[in-house]
Amino acid sequence: MSDSSNQVPGKVVDLMVDSIFKKNGIKPDELKKNLSDEQKQMLKDMVEDLKEQVDKFNNKNKNHTSE
């Protein structure tokens, strides 16, 4: 994949995470200080899962559009 196609899923994930934080009144700086290592790992795993889902969705749409 090219760099520009990797940036789009990353931006989608960032937007979703920021939206969830704002909705729940969470400040990212405070969150970093109060998370356990296990919670941090869980968040990283969730972000990776979201990225994979967005990539699959984008690839599915590309294949569907090119037909």
Where do we find the tokens 């984008």? 58
Residue 67 forms part of a structural domain: no
Q: pLDDT per residue over 18-51, tens digit each?
A: 888 889 888 878 877 888 899 889 988 988 888 8
Residue 43 in any domain: the answer is yes
The predicted pLDDT at position 3 comes to 47
Number of structural domains (the chain) is 1
In this structure, which long-range contacts are made by residues 53-57, counting pairs with CB atoms below 8 Å and at least 24 apart in sequence?
54/8, 54/9, 54/12, 54/13, 55/1, 55/9
Residue 35 domain boundaries = 3-61
Residue 13 lies in a domain: yes
How far apart CA 56 and CA 44 sit, in angstroms, is: 18
The answer to the question of residue 49 being in a domain is yes
In a domain, 66, yes or no: no
pTM, to two decimals:
0.52
